[in-house]
Structure 1
Amino acid sequence: MTTLTMRPYAGEADLDAIAHLINACEAVDRTDSGTSVSELRQSFDDPSVDKTRNIYLWEDAENKLVGLGRLWVPPADKLTDGFLGFRVHPTARGKDLERQILAWGEGRMREMSQERGVPVKLRSSSRADQSERIAILERSGFTAERYFFTMERSLSQPIPEPQLPEGFVVRQMQGEQDIQAWVEMYNQAFIDHWNHRELTVERMRHELKNPYYKPELDLIATATDGTFAAFCHCRINPEDNKRNGRQEGLIICLGTRRGFRHRGLGRAMLLTGMQRLQAAGVEIAKLGVDVENPTGALRLYESVGFHKAFTHISYFKEV
């Protein structure tokens, strides 16, 4: 068996090797999840990421990076879940490395459980067409819990004109002066959703620093009293588009806060976001949705022409 060495993430010097590993996996898996050093840097600099304890690397005898485990634990007073993302180089798969990474994730969660005195779950995910990854998760005691669709829609087809309810206006996010109200609206909009984790002002500030963040694609519907009632946040990633040879835009999140639902705000904001992406030259709009979303989001997306591109499965394991 090949001798492997595991070590913690060492910072900037590791980014190139991590990007190379992820892109080597992407060349085989084709899950539209390639990356670059700049994208990794932005992701790892998220203030909720514990880079010293929750990102680990596995190298072979020649010091080549062949495995990556990244654990994200939502910032909260009471720890309950950890989300494990992992990659194994195609040449190192099926040789016990996947089990080692999952065991590391479980060990970290046990440490956190002992530190805080609460029971925890370890979560991970797979695309539904990744049969080998699914088999590894299930052999390791993970259970499928929830299904999500990635949906897409051609913007070359006509987009219905948004019909904003009377008394509401749409404007773009205005940076720091809006951040507190935006975060409050976001948390109110998703409070009913499965496994919702509170967004913090600190994490939203990090999002605003994303090099591809554009205020004109971060839209807010306000009521007559100025209340932030609904939102549609979109992004265009030119690096991703160059890698994939497509001109796509992502609707990162769409939501309507409690007390303002069932008035057509969600549909109006979705259509407005699609128009903004179309005006920016996007050919395909994509988004993700919980299949069992309690607010009827799946029906909304289908009603304006989105269709399923593929399915993700969320797995969990009691630790």
Structure 2
Amino acid sequence: MGTFPEWVEARPIEKTDADAWAALMNDVQVTDQNGENYSAEDLVEELGDPKMNTARDTIGLWVDEVMVAYGVVYWRKNLVDVDRLNTDSAVRGEWRRRGLGQALLTWEIASARELHEEHHPDVAEAELNSTVISTNVGAAALFTGQGFEECRYSFTLQRPFDEPIPAVGVPDGLRVVPFEPAYDEALRLTHNEVFMDHWGSTPKDEETWKVWFTGSRAFRAGLSFLVLDGEQIVAYANGFEYDADTAATGIREVYVGQVGTVRSHRGRGLAAVALTALMTQAAETGFKRASLGVDTQNPTGALSLYERLGFQQHTQWTTYRLPLT
């Protein structure tokens, strides 16, 4: 399990730890103002990912029956070029600057190397990525001290619905429809094609799609829209609702998890068509705002699209990378 201070208990995270883990995550949200609130049900679902081996891929640090820190390492089944593993970790605000973050990162690096050797040993290039909000003032020193470098920047954007949502016309010959399960597999394949040229994106297999996308408990089919050319999906916007965020903020927010347009139909404003359909439906059903995340170097110019539709920067995030090979 790595080397941790003797005054903490280090052990894998199990589903029975979900309440304690959620309490830790929500404490971190208060400290860092990252806007990410969690319920125990959210975390039980995450631990249910069939690819996750909790005994190997997770760790919780405990003091007097309180979870004070955690770490998780994620691997990907399908690759495009580089084996990019991801890590997620945090330490409660009052327990920071005691060496726990450094110990967690050391454990995560070792675990990532083991996962690379287990799942993709023939891939020559591997790296570990971690994304951290800018308000976590100690993160830069922690990561650079372990040899990481900054590699990508992203924003979380918000758009309140107290301002009119622009009407965006649907081009002739196309139509907009809400998501239905019959479209699920076609949407997965479309998403894989759309994001082929996006940094860090890899094709989503059916299992991953079910766990993290349309099979997620937060996915809202009624807030997800497809633009069809005949029966082909040419653009889409998927909506999610996180009950823990609503409980914490008192504001119903639709999170736009995925937006995209196939290459053959880009330049025609179809992402805006799908996204405004989503926002209009959300506003009509009691939601007060929309939010989404965007890579500042997105190759399709997504940031400028969102800004034209009234989204504004809310938080800023930095992704750090460490070569593993």
What is the TM-score normalised by the length of structure 1?
0.93
Distance across 2 between alignment mates of 1:187 and 1:231? 12
Deviations 1:86-133 (A, max 9, x none): 011223211111111101111112213333244421111111222112
Distance across 1 between alignment mates of 2:50 and 2:167? 39
Question: Which residue does the alignment assign to 1:97?
Answer: 100
Is the 8 Å Cα contact of residues 29 and 37 (structure 2) preserved in structure 1? yes
Is the 8 Å Cα contact of residues 32 and 244 (structure 1) preserved in structure 2? no
Distance across 2 between alignment mates of 1:208 and 1:303? 27
Residue 298 of structure 1: CA displacement? 0.8
**1:156 is aligned to 2:162:** yes
Question: Which residue does the alignment assign to 1:229?
Answer: 234
Question: Which residue does the alignment assign to 1:69?
Answer: 71
Residue 76 of structure 1: CA displacement? 2.0
Q: SS of the counterpart of 1:14? A: helix
Is the 8 Å Cα contact of residues 149 and 320 (structure 2) preserved in structure 1? yes
Runs of 4+, deviation exceeding 6 Å: none
Q: 1:91 corresponds to which letter in structure 2?
A: E
What is the TM-score normalised by the length of structure 2?
0.91
Residue 13 of structure 1: CA displacement? 1.3
Question: Which residue does the alignment assign to 2:217?
Answer: 211
Q: 2:144 corresponds to which letter in structure 1?
A: E
Question: Which residue does the alignment assign to 1:8?
Answer: 12
**1:143 is aligned to 2:149:** yes
Residue 193 of structure 1: CA displacement? 0.9
Residue 302 of structure 1: CA displacement? 1.0
**Any unmatched runs of 5+ in structure 2?**
none
Residue 236 of structure 1: CA displacement? 2.2
Return closer, same or farther for 1:197/1:171 CA change in 2, 3 Å cut-off.
Answer: same
Deviations 1:269-318 (A, max 9, x none): 11111111111211111111111111111111111111111211111011
Alignment: residue pair count: 315
Is the 8 Å Cα contact of residues 254 and 270 (structure 1) preserved in structure 2? yes
Alignment RMSD (CA, Å): 1.8
Q: 2:105 corresponds to which letter in structure 1?
A: L
Question: Which residue does the alignment assign to 1:52?
Answer: 55
Question: Which residue does the alignment assign to 1:126?
Answer: 132
Question: Which residue does the alignment assign to 2:173?
Answer: 167
Residue 5 of structure 1: CA displacement? 2.8
Sequence identity percentage: 25
Residue 204 of structure 1: CA displacement? 2.2
**1:263 is aligned to 2:268:** yes
**Any unmatched runs of 5+ in structure 1?**
none
Q: SS of the counterpart of 2:197? A: coil
